[in-house]
Amino acid sequence: MGNEKMMKEREKFLQKAQSLIPELLYEEKTPRCYWMQRGETAKEQKLYCCLKQEELGKGDRILFDFGHNCPAYFQFGLKKTGSPQDAPAFLYFRFCETEREFLEESGEDSGWISRGWIQEEWLHIDELPCTAEMSRRYAFRYVLITVLDTSKKYKISFENVLRKEVSCVDGEAMISALPKCGDSMLHKIREVSIRTLANCMQTVFEDGPKRDRRLWLGDLMLQALVNYETFQKNDLVKRCLYLFAGLCNPEDGMIPACVFEKPVPLMDDSFLLDYSLFFIPVLVEYYRRTGDLETVEELSETAFRQVTIAMKFTENFLIREEGISLQGEKYFCFVDWKEGLDKQCSMQGILLYAVRYGVELCEILGQKEMAEKYGEMQKGLEAAAVKTFWDQKKKVFFSGRQHQISIASQVWMILAGLVQGKEAKELLLRVKDCPMIMVTPYMHHFYVMALLRAGEKEEALKHVKEYWGGMIRAGADTFWELYNPMNEKESPYGSYSVNSYCHAWSCTPVYLLKYLEE
C-alpha cells in the first residue's frame, strides 16, 4: 500500500475512533471504615467503622478503606482544632490497591520502572477549613494519609471523605445482579472478574487503571471476549480496533503493541509480533458477536497486513532449522513474563493461530481465492512446526537452540490446532510439572483454553479455582497483573510495588466459566 493512501486511511480510522468515545459514569462513595495510628507505634492502631472527629497531629496516620479497588478521584474536607493556623498542614498521601502496598511501605523502590507510577502525593494546605480534590485519577482501595507536620499549636481532622469512582460501565450493579452460585468460590471469582474488567473500561479498554493506563492489543483480545459475555459495550471494542488501525506504523503498516489517547491519539514505539497478529482474532470475534460487516471490510486490509509482515519478518523460516528468530531483531514477542522463557515455538503457534483466524476472515469477506491461499499457508506452517519444534523421543514441543521445554510452547501448539483431543491431553500431562512455568493470568487463560481443547473440562475448572481463587485467598478484590503462587512478591520490574493489582488480562474467568459449566 502506498504511503499516501495509508496516511489517508489512518486519518479516516482515527476520526471513526474519536466518534465512538463513550460517556464516563461517576459515582461518589464514602469509606467503609478507617484505621487510626498515633505516632509510629503500631500497637496504638485502632479500627473505626464511621468517621469521627479525630484530631491528628505530627506523626499521626489515618487509613481509609473503601471496600474494594477502583479507579477514582479522591476528595476530602479538612478543618483545624486548637489555636489559629500558624503554619501550613503538610500531608503525605499513599493510594494503595492492596494491603501489601501500605504495610511494607515500598514507595522508595520501584525497580527499573519509573517511580512516577507509585501512587503518592505530598500536599501543603495553607488555609483551614478547606475542601480538596486530588486532580489525578488513582486506582485504590486504601488511602493512607500521614500528617508530616502541622505545628504545636493546632491539629487537624478529616470530614466528608469520599472517592468519585469512574468507568464507562456500572460494574457493581452487574455484580449485585449475579445469580447465586452453589460454589461460593466460583461466585467470588465471577464477581472479581467483572470488577476487574469494569475498572479497565474507561474511554478505551485500559490494561490497568494504575499502570499503564493505556490500550494494549494483547489485553484487548481478552477484554473483548469478556465484554461480550458481560457488559456488551461493543462500540468500545470497535473504537479500539479503529484506534489501532489508525495508529499503525506509517512505514510498514504494522500495528503497535499499545497506543495512547492523550493529549492526542498516538502510536507507541513498542512493537510485539504476537500482539500485532492478535488484531485478526479480535476483528473476527467482533464480527461473530455483532455481524458488523462494514467494520470488518474497512479493517480487513490492516488485519491481513499483519500476517504479511510476520511472514516477511520470518523469511524462509519454513526451511530454517532454528525456526523463527526473535533474538536481537526489531520486533520481538511477549507470550509471558516468565524470566528465561524461550518464545520461538510459542511464536510459531501464535502465527498459526492468527492464520487460522485469517482463513475465517477470508470466508466472512467471501474471498475464496484468499481463503485458499491462507489454507495453504496454514499447511506449510503446520509442517514447519512439527519439523522444527517436535521432539520425537520426549513427545513434546521444544523451543530455541537449547531445546527448552515449557508449558507455553505446548499450549500455543494446541491452540494452533497441531494437537487435539487425547493427544493434547497427554501432551499437557507430560509438562504439568515443567519448571518453566507460567506467571501471568494472561498465559494461564490460554492454558485453560488448551485444557478445554484437550477435553479436560474438569481439570480446567480446577485450575481456575486454584489459580484465580489463589489470588482471592491472598486478598484480591480485583485480579492481578502477575501471580506466582510460589512467590507472591514476584515482579518483572524489580519491585512489586509497581505491579498492577487490577489488570485487564486477568479478567477472563467469567468468560471461561461459560464453557466450563456447560
Position 2 scores a pLDDT of: 57
Contacts for 427 with CB less than 8 Å, ≥ 6 apart? 395, 396, 397, 410, 413, 414, 419, 454
- Relative to beta strand 61-82, strand 46-48 is unpaired
Give the DSSP letter string of 390-430.
EETTTTEE-BTTTTB--HHHHHHHHHTTSS-HHHHHHHHHH
Cα–Cα distance between 328 and 35 in angstroms, integer? 51
More confident residue, 34 or 241: 241
Question: How much is the pLDDT for 46?
Answer: 54
pLDDT of residue 34: 85
Confidence (pLDDT) at 38: 79
* Residue 158, strand partner residues: 78
pLDDT value at residue 5: 75
Q: What average pLDDT does this structure show over 80-89?
A: 96
Kindly report, residue by residue over 407-430, the tens digit of the pLDDT. Answer: 999 999 999 999 999 999 999 999
Is 88's pLDDT higher than 70?
yes
> Is residue 498 predicted with pLDDT exceeding 50?
yes
* CATH fold of 171-516: Glycosyltransferase (1.50.10)
Q: What is the band of 326 on the pLDDT scale with cuts at 50, 70, 90?
A: very low
pLDDT higher than threshold 80 for residue 124: yes
The SS3 of residue 272 is strand
pLDDT above 90 for 400:
no
Taking the C-alpha atoms of residue 214 and residue 28, their distance in angstroms, rounded to an integer, is 24
For helices 457-473 and 441-453, the axis angle rounded to 10 degrees is 160
Domain boundaries, the chain: 25-167, 171-516
pTM (2 decimals)? 0.94
Picking from 456, 517, 461, 510, the residue whose alpha carbon sits closest to that of residue 174 is 510
* CATH assignment of 25-167, among 3.40.50.620, 3.90.1150.10, 3.10.310.10, 2.60.120.260: 2.60.120.260
CB 483 within 8 A of CB 203: no
102-116, 149-163, 441-455, 482-496: which has the minimum mean pLDDT? Answer: 102-116
Give residue 47's pLDDT: 54
Higher pLDDT among residues 75 and 316, named by residue:
75
Give CA–CA dist 279/354, Å, rounded: 9
Query: What is residue 93's DSSP assignment?
Result: E
CA gap 304, 215 in Å, rounded: 21
Between 19-23, 31-35, 72-76, 81-85, the lowest mean confidence (pLDDT) is in 31-35
24: pLDDT strictly greater than 60: yes
Residue 348 reports pLDDT greater than 60 = yes
- Residues 187-202: pLDDT tens digits? 999 999 999 999 999 9
Please check the confidence at residue 336 and state whether its pLDDT lies above 50.
yes
Torsion of CA 101, 105, 107, 111, to 10 degrees: -80
Question: Could you tell me what percent of the chain has a pLDDT over 90?
Answer: 79
127-180: per-residue pLDDT in tens?
A: 999 999 999 999 999 999 999 999 999 999 999 999 999 999 999 999 999 998
pLDDT tens figures, 263-311: 999 999 999 999 999 999 999 999 999 999 999 999 999 999 999 998 8
pLDDT value at position 489? Answer: 85
Q: For residue 70, what pLDDT is reported?
A: 98
| Distance in angstroms (rounded) separating the CA atoms of residues 125 and 127 | 6
Average pLDDT over residues 358-366: 98
Q: What pLDDT digit, counting tens, does each position of 204-213 carry?
A: 999 999 999 9
The average pLDDT across 315-343 equals: 65
pLDDT at residue 40, rounded to an integer? 58
CB 453 within 8 A of CB 418: no
b/e map 266-289, b = 16+ CB within 10 Å: ebeeebbbbbbbbbbbbbbbbbee
| Residues 13-45: b if buried by 16+ CB within 10 A, e if exposed | bbebbeebebeeeeeeeebeebbbbeeeeeeee
